[in-house]
A and B are shown apart, each in its own frame.
Chain A
């Protein structure tokens, strides 16, 4: 069996731990049985809001759209003061500069997708230049995609080297590695891709681009959280987690929070180590927070759409 003693000793990724699908799904369903009420609900919702990577990744994105989104990131719902801001804005590289300027010294990070997002079907050189451009424009975080074709073909060294090369050009920027789990097919492969990404230098592992269905699910996130835990056991190094796509309701987000709490514990329960990649989640969270505080639901039109 492979024993990854340290970061310098690489395991044989074809021997990554196997995952039993039925068992993983059953365990994930168990987290949804936790009842989150009253102050723990309110605190959880605030935590969720603070963990969101507010995202716009469209061909039709403009400076104006990004600026508006940045304002929303800083002021999620001014009608209710004292709410936390979101964790980051996630945009294409060409929008990084705009976002950076709009966010100013708010402390909100700018994350940029890169490496021929979302398909990743480009040469190494193009991917490196794409990443460099995003970093030069001021991205604090880079969300890259792995080469799923090469991964399926069993070329794990290629995938590994590519991630390591991107990590190098990221410099200070934190690297999130998107596995695109909806294209991987089995939990065994999700686990293997997670192991490759973490050993190659990922700061975060992320489920999905949001462009492929299924995107993030609880079982797939569980498999990745357990990979993070095992990596931490072996190396003492913490890796972040970002489920992305498909999480649009507060209740589901709270289930994810329960899962993080019970699999990885306290150290990961903050936006340095856990993020939600989502666009419509924020408003549902805001609506629930207002409901918790006032006792009544407000209509959707009281919350800005950005």
Chain B
């Protein structure tokens, strides 16, 4: 019915849109019955499920409900040793000698099987990690399959990837992955390694082991020769045992910068190769000539995608002062329409925070931000009673020297800063120990090239954000790490060029 509104509200910032509508969405939960989770998981070593020599298991929980989903084995040093030996044996006896096009067939098969079991993988990813089913279904799982397809294609074409050079695999790769994209990171790591003839010992993060173990089931079913891929579970100590194992040739790690530094120290002088993909504090820059509505949407995707548990999240927003008011107002309106809740509901935009520990970290930074004098704004949505949750949050009046503008929060928290000139914003954007990603929003093509040339970040998006493709390399500058994953660059991290 017509709603009478005052017509006197020129330049009135108090006009608000009301998104709490009489027409609302009924719950649309994805059915859990399509996924089977065993009560207990052992270690996948040498093509079979083996009890841990440590005899220990630990619980993995659903962060949205704080309920136990399953328990997984904790690998001790002896288990790591067994896995590395299996990988070494498979490397020397089978995998390095197999013709490349035969290797490719296995990788293609894994890719297809990931697609076939996409629904189950997506459900388990959301149950175990808390991310919305829309993202695990539409992003994580299909992109994981694409990585296997992409690198399967390269396996027998390395002479074209490295023209006039001869390549050989490195040997046994120890791979340690984080909890934010469990299956996708496993695919990023495993696919290029085995396609180029290496064998793998992979350890998923302790809070999100289940999809990696499901991938192990797929690998078992695919008939991949035993020992080529070994998946062992555990926490930091297991990771350390992998890093320090003398028979590992290469370490690939994605995770925090602190752990990355420890790894680098640990392998100094050992001859192990290493690639590190570490933290980030990406600058997302909106110029006054940008398409504002699309930029606002890009900022939302940049920071609230996967609850902000993204190393390349656009967590520092720089807005040109002349449009700052408009952008902030639109962001505030937009976060009101983000749906926070059950990760398995198909309408959920923001799921559960991955762990209690991570939620505490985020809350710590919210307090720091407020103490630093920044203005905090959160959406008004209700949060479920149980589980780990954080409303989409933004801070205005943030200064470059504030900790919330310098340190990686890894949550749905955006710090908004303003700038006046191009030079100023480049200086501020580069003024960070990190350099993983960045975004530029402007309608002017020449400005895009000018900005991207001067910014120190591994990935720079123009008029979009958080776009990934297997053919596109990803990696950081400075304390965001080194080495690239994805694309041709991703191949070179797993081969020696011998002449």
Question: Taking beta carbons and an 8 Å cutoff, which residues of A are in contact with B?
Answer: 1, 5-6, 17-20, 22-24, 26-27, 33-41, 43-44, 47, 226, 229, 232-238, 257, 261-262, 264-267, 269-270, 272-273
Contact = CB atoms under 8 A, between A and B. Distances in A.
B288 A33 contact: no
A176 to B, nearest CB: 16
Q: Is the interface of B mostly helix, strand, loop or mixed?
A: loop
Interface in B279-329: 288-295, 297-298, 322, 329
A237 B19 contact: no
A297 B198 CA distance: 56
29 contacts: A1-B288, A1-B322, A17-B293, A18-B290, A18-B291, A18-B443, A19-B293, A20-B294, A23-B298, A23-B463, A34-B347, A35-B28, A35-B346, A35-B347, A37-B27, A40-B26, A233-B15, A233-B329, A234-B11, A235-B7, A235-B10, A265-B19, A265-B21, A266-B20, A266-B21, A269-B21, A269-B22, A272-B2, A273-B2
Interface string B397-428: 00000000000000000000000000000000
B357 interface: no
A23 B293 CA distance: 9
A266 B22 contact: yes
Given A23-B298, A33-B134, A257 B23 contact: yes
A38 B26 contact: yes
B10 A236 contact: yes
A39 B26 contact: yes
A270 B464 CA distance: 33
A37 B289 CA distance: 40
A260 B7 CA distance: 22
Interface of B: 1-3, 5-12, 15, 17-28, 134, 138, 288-295, 297-298, 322, 329, 337, 346-347, 443, 463-464
Contacts of A261: 19, 21, 23, 337
Contacts of B22: 266, 269
A226 B10 contact: no
A268 to B, nearest CB: 9
A5 B19 CA distance: 25
B25 A36 contact: yes
A12 to B, nearest CB: 15
A26 B24 CA distance: 23
A51 B376 CA distance: 39
A18 B293 CA distance: 9
Which of B7, B20, B25, B288: most chain A CB closer than 10 A? B25
Given A27-B297, A236-B8, A236-B12, A17 B291 contact: yes
Contacts of A264: 17
Nearest to B322: A1
A33 B345 CA distance: 12
A236 B463 contact: no
Contacts of B24: 40
B20 to A, nearest CB: 7
A20 B1 CA distance: 33
A33 B292 CA distance: 23
**Top 4 closest A-B pairs, CB basis?**
A23-B294, A236-B9, A35-B28, A20-B291
A17 B292 contact: yes
Contacts of B20: 266
Contact of A234 (B5, B10, B28): B10
Contacts of B337: 261-262
Contacts of B295: 23
A18 B289 contact: yes
B230 to A, nearest CB: 37
B15 A238 contact: no
Nearest to A30: B297
Nearest to A261: B21
Which of B18, B26, B292: most chain A CB closer than 10 A? B26
Contacts of A24: 293-294
Contacts of A266: 18-22
Contacts of B10: 5-6, 234-236
A19 B5 CA distance: 28
Given A19-B293, A235-B10, A238-B5, A265 B18 contact: yes
